[in-house]
Each structure stands twice: as structure tokens, then as C-alpha cells.
Amino acid sequence: MYDASCSLETNLNPATSVVFRPKTYMYSKNKSITQSVIACYIDNKNSNKTIESGILLLILALASPIRSEVHHRDSLSYMARHDTPGSPGDVQGFADKVNRYSMQSSSSYYFGDFTYPFQNPDLPWDERVDDLVSRLTLEEIQLQMARGGQWAYSTPAPAIPRLGIGPYVWNTNCHRGDQQVAENATAFPQSIGLAASFSPQVLFDVGTASSIETRGKHNDFVRRGVYATHTGASCFSPVINVARDPRWGRVQETYGEDPYMSGELAAKFLKGLHGEHPRFVRVTGGCLHVDAYSGPDNVPVRRFSFNANVTDEDLHMTYLPGFKRCVQAGTYSFMCSYNSINGVPACANKKILTDVLRNDWKFKGYVVSDEGAIEYLVTDHKYVTNMVDAAAVGVEAGCNLELSYNLVQPAYISIVDAVKQGKLDESLVRERVKPLFYTRMRLGQFDPPENNPFSRLNSSVVETAEHQAKAIQVAAKSFVLLKNVNNTLPLVPAQYKHVAVIGPMADEYDQIFGNLPPVQDRSFSKTPLQGLQDIFKYLHFNRVCKAKTKCVSYNATLAKDTVKNKDLIIAIFGTGQLVEKEANDRHDTNLPGKQKELLQDIINNKGGAKLVLILMNAGPLNMTFADESSKVDAILECFFPGQATGEAIKRVMTNKDGKWSPAGRLPNTWYRFADQIPPMVNYSMQGRTYRYLTSDPLYPFGYGLSYSTFAYSSLKLKTPAVEAMQNLSVSISVQNTGPVDSDEVIQCYISWSDQALPVPVRQLAYFNRIHLKAKQTLDLLLTISWERWAFWQNGQWTIKAGSMGLACGGQQPNQKKKVPSNVLNTHFKILHSLNFSDAL
């Protein structure tokens, strides 16, 4: 038998005045979900409780198919508006509706028995969207715009059965796999590791695999009537904020410190997410977080009220370019950030959300608020004094969808009141909801499912052998070899009989994924220790630190005993989510807690053993002492590699089968001294990142060693002079001069001869990752876009006639810390100056 007891909540906005929320939902295998729902419905009906104007919000609890037994699930919202006003409808008719809209065979809401123009797949998208929105009441639009969040009150956007429109979950993340949702998903490396690959192809591959799994799971969720948090097909991914400060807790979610590279990697990732069908998208991608948001989150102040003072030059040359590239790549959405920019909260910032995104860049998609950001206009920014005004300024500025903190009354539930009070125009509200339905149309929700190949995906695509192998390959491509004295790596296992593994990150499963990871069965993953145990049958392991990576203390005697009389010591240190993540900034770049002291003890007591240091972190660390120590033989930066951590470490450290030479490059500058880093609240780019740093760092942006060496030659320009908007064609040869096959990362930088201009010291203008067999030479043709030498001055883009420097090789030019390859330099000339607007 089953118990479908329900509680009734009133005191809501009239548009959602009745909510049935189950205290418990238990049903046996011979009872359908619909029967349980109807039991709840009948129970309340027979209790003489009023059902207002045919509005019914049912919260369903579904069984998980992960195992054979029935499990309780998150409460799942479902709104059903009945066709006959004032009547709840008959029980059987309601049951038919629940089955019809909750248990579809695909994620399409096209049923063939409606004749509305918006359901006609032969009409243009705009006509279909206009027709659909014209049929909605203002109250229905309000709910669609208010339900973009998570948990039972905030998601899904409710169904509109009278029009054949089902519910939809917006809040989904897939930066490196289908994140934070029940049931398995392949866990690729955290985003900063993806960026370290310096490979657009890697980003495309991860975007593709992540979207296939996300869409397959989404389709199955819809078939089962599951509309829980993170079960949708609209990814709030990727995060492309410029990681300008190493202490920011969210460095790990970004693509590093360079705006050009971040934009290019985002474009490839979006292409992978969307798929290549001419009509439908597999999932929709959206770039986060507009704009000038890169700390602080909580140190020294909270992000919810922080105001970033940004010059116009920095805004257009550093903080906005990646988002502009997202528009060019076809992003479906943007998320506005928590902070204010020059006194105006991002989600109320009409200059950015409308003037820049929509008017200048012709963006046609939707803007979603970060979670709770609309409410923070009242509570933290004090920008307005009530939720009606918050809804009005948010919609007016250009925010289409609210993601709230699971509130019964989120700010956008005041949209109708704002219209009634003359603070919003209804026509604008109708325009703001249109991108939401356009997005759902492109997902195929209103077309015959047989026309959409993505509707046939299901959960069988999750953690396939192909995706597991790809996770290993991508993790290995993310590793950056920072130090390798006398070719300590790759290891020859037979040379080491007595091996120690020590450190707080060696066997911490929950710390290898980074913030907001995909959920998965542990059988898919290996920790570093497990990977090393595959290499060395006998090894001595101790974590030594207490409180995991926080390492508040450690047992010095145990540390000495662990490393005593060893041939090889592998020390695995780092941060993990305990130390850095969203809403958790670092105060400095030092190793956490007592880790530095522990490492110094290892160095002092290792005897003649080789010492390999593996680092697992996101933001750069202060490793000057380890880099300069002659007793640290190798340093390998691994970031947060995800499920393939142990397997990738095993293969790279031994160069298994000669195919796993590391070739990752640092996507962030690692500073030599703490005083090189300006205060986090200072948003000026002067002195920040490789583009504006005038002193020598420990490890420069783009730095990384290999098990091989490379030589560049024959740098030639197709023409030594170009027009302002003419691309530069470059040819160059690169040879793998070393003993092993390896990838190499080609980097080209431009510089302005006139440094009095408001320009960076240098700017990355081209990058790519290629593979060369030992002794192989490749002749390459490169194109450098004219956009790279444009700079912002006096409210417009400017290209200045004159001489430009060009340097190409495997690293930045003129660096104190070098890799063993050369950099070639030349010059080209821009023939004429030009000014132009920011419009696309």
C-alpha cells in the first residue's frame, strides 16, 4: 500500500495560492506515480479544502531506478492549470494530464493534437515564439520568469497544460560533466585543468561528452516525470571570468587569466555542448558571470554587496572580451553576477545587460541571475527597498530569469505587482520571456520528437568506455610539469625498491574533483595513491596531516619514519575544496596549514631519496622554496583531475608506452613573492597577470616542461605590413628534438612598440596544442586575428598605425624562468589607424 498524505499551504501569491506538498510518499511497485498523486488530490478534496481557480501545484516524489528497491527522491514540482476556470476537473481527467505531461517518451512536448501556430515546425522560430507568448497570461509569464532556481519552491518552471507546455528545469551545470545531479556522470578535470591543456580540441571533446550525458539523463528524467534540481538541458556553463587574483576561491571554475584564451576555449566548449545539428541543440550553454566578477567571494568582504570599481579600459580589454566571444559562438544565455560594477549591481545593470549585450553585441538569448542575486538588490546592495522594485529593475535591466534561494515568494513573483503599479511595462515583460521559450524550442520541446536526434539519447550514454578513456586522456593533458631535475620523471619503477607516498592529498577521494563535482559511483575513480599502487607493489603510505588538506597539525615523528631509508618519495600536497572553492577565498597563496613545514621536514630527512612533489590545487601556490631547493627533484601540477586522477598520474609519471609525456601549460601566473599581488578588492589590472606584470614571476603564464625538447625555426610573415582590420598570416616550423613523442603548445604573443598607449605589456595572440613524434618536424600556417591588436581608448576601439612585435615559440618571450625551447621574434607594421565601436 501507499501513503499519499499531503499538507496544504496557503498564504501564497494568488497565482500560486494552493500548494500540496507531501510529507511522505511511499508507493509499492504495483502502484503508479499517478495513482499516488491522485490519492493526494482526493485526500485534500475530500477534506473540503478549497482549490483556488483551478490552480494545482503537485509535488511528486519519484522512485530512483538506480537500484531495484524504491527510494525516496527530492520533491519535484508540477503545476497544472485546468481548462475550466473555477473547477478542479474530474479525477480521471487530471490523471490523464499528469501522465500526459510527466511521462512522455522523450523531452518533447509536441503531441500532434494541438493546432496552435507555435507548434508548427514549419514556421520560423520568431513567429512560433511570438504566438506562444501571446497566448500566455501575465501571471503565467511571471511564474516562468520566477522559477529558474533549485529545490522544490524554485523549480521547475511550471507546466501550462492548456497549451500543451510541460514543466522545465533551468538550473543545470555541466562545466566538466553533468554536475550535482543524482546518478552517474563522467567527472572530467575541473575547468582550470581543462584550460591548462591549452587545447581547444580538449574543450570541444569535454563539452561534447558532457552534453551527451546531460541530455541523455535529462530525457530519462522527463520520461519518468522527474523535474528536480539540475535535471534540465540548459547548462549554466562555462565560467569564463578572468582569474585575475590567485586567492579567489573560484579560480578553479575558470579558464585562467587571459581573456582571449578564455573566450576561445569557451567558444569550443559551447560548440561541443550544442552539437552540430542544423536545427536542434543537444543542450544549451551559457557563459558565467557577467561581469567584472573575480573575487572577493568572502575575503576580505562578501561578494553579495561588493562593488568593483573598474575603468572603462579594463572593462573592455579584460573583463568583457570573453563574453563577447561567447555571443559570437552562439551562447544561449549569460548569468549576471552578485557584485556591483561601478555602483550598479550586475543583475540590475542596464548598461551591460541591455546596452552592451543586446544593443551592441546583438545577443538574442536570456540572462539568468546568480542564485539570490535579485533578492540581494534589497538585502545587501540596498539598491532598492522592496521586492517589487527589485523585480522591476531586474527585468528592466535585462534579466529574464530569476534563480532564487528556494523561496516561496522570489522577487520575480512581484512582476505582476510591478506592472500594476506602473513600474514595468507589460510589453517589456512579454519580450523578456520570449528567449526562454526560444531556448526550449531549439531543444526540440515543441517539435515532433522523431525529428530530433537528441531526443533519442538516454542514460546508457553515461560513463561509456569511450568517455572513461577520454577522462584519462584529458586529465593527463591537463598536467603541468614545473620542475624536472636530471630527468627524474618519467619514473623507471624497477629502479626504486623502497617507495614512500606521503601527504594530505594522496588518498582523499572527495578532494580530487574540485567544487560542484559530477556525482558518480566511486568505482569509476582512482585516487593518486591507488594509481601509484599500480606502479609499486610495496609502498609506505601516511597522510601525516590532521584535518585533511587544512593540515592544522602533523605528526613529525611519523613523517620522518615514513620517508626514512627510501629510494623514492612521492609527496602529494594541495588544497581541495576544504581550502578553496566558491564562497571560500584564500588569505594568501601559501600551502595550507602546516603543509610547508611538513614538506620541509621531508626535505630535511629524505637522505638520498629522489623527491617528487605532486600538487593538486586550483589557484597558484607559493612554491618558491620548493622550486629553488636542490632536494626537490620534480614538481608536477595536476589541479583537480576528477575521476581519472590516479590512472592519469600513473601513466604520466611513467610515460606509459611512450605516449604520456606531459605538455600542459600554466593558465595563470604563479607569483614569486606575495608583494607582487595587489589587494583583491583592487580591480585595476595594473600589475596583475602576465599582461600587466612588470616583475619576474616564479612560473609565468604559459610555462610547462615536457619529457622532450623542441626547436622553432623559419618564422615568416606572408606580408610584413597589414591594414588595420587585416589578419596576419604566419608560417613557422617546429621540431621535436628530444627522444620521446610528445605534445607541444605553440604560443604567439604580440606587443606594442609604443607602451605609452593603454595596452598590455604583451598579449597572447595565438595558441594551439599539437603532437609530434620524436625528431619529427611540422611546418605550420597560423592566422592571427586583427582583433588582437585593437585596444580601448576614449570610449571606442582603436587600432594604431605603427610597428608591432611578434614572438612565437613554446613560451612567452623574455622570461627569466624558461623551458628548453627557443622563441622567435619579428615585427610587422600596421599601415593605418582606425577607430570603431563595440558593435557586432
Residue 679 is placed in which grid cell? 589587494
Q: Over the range 494-522, which residues count as b (16 or more CB within 10 Å of their CB) and which as e?
A: eebeebbbbbbbbbbeebbbbbbbbbbee
Nearest alpha-carbon partner for 783 in 801, 768, 798, 762: 768
How many other CB atoms are found less than 10 A from the CB of residue 546? 14
Is 370 in the active site?
yes
SS3 286: strand
DSSP letter (8 states) at residue 560:
H
Angle 265-244-504 from CA coordinates, rounded to 5°: 90
- Indicate the SS3 state at residue 355: helix
CA angle 478–198–260, rounded 5-degree value: 135
Residue 235 to residues 228, 241, 474, 759: CA-CA distances in angstroms? 15, 16, 21, 34
Chain-centroid distance, C-alpha 24 = 35
CA atoms within 13 A on the CB side of 113: 5
Q: What is the DSSP string of 231-245?
A: -SSEE---B------
Cα separations in angstroms, 152 against 22, 335, 375, 382: 11, 21, 18, 28
Contact 364, 110 (CB under 8 A): no
Residue type for 803, please?
S
Rounded CA gap, 606 and 250, in Å? 35
Q: Which of 220, 258, 370, 633 is catalytic?
A: 370
Task: Locate 526 and state its grid cell.
Answer: 582512482
* Contact between 137 and 163 (Cβ < 8 Å): no
Share of the chain residues as helix, strand and coil, in percent rounded to the nearest 5: 35, 20, 45
- Pairwise CA distance, residues 236 & 230, whole Å: 10
Q: Which helix (H) or strand (E) holds 598?
A: helix 595-605
Report the DSSP beta bridge partners of residue 502.
542, 571
**Amino acid present at 319:** Y
Question: Which amino acid type is present at position 25?
Answer: Y
Residue 679 DSSP label: P
Contact by Cβ (8 Å): 205, 194: no
Strand pairing class (802-809; 742-752): antiparallel
| Residue 599 neighbours by CB under 8 Å, 6+ apart | 571, 573, 591, 613, 626
Task: Name the H helices within 398-483.
Answer: 415-420, 426-442, 465-478
CA–CA dist 430, 669 (Å, integer): 46
Q: What is the residue type of 601?
A: D
Distance, in Å, from the CA atom of 715 to the CA atom of 828, rounded to the nearest integer, reads 12
Cell numbers 601540477 correspond to what residue?
637
Catalytic residue IDs: 370
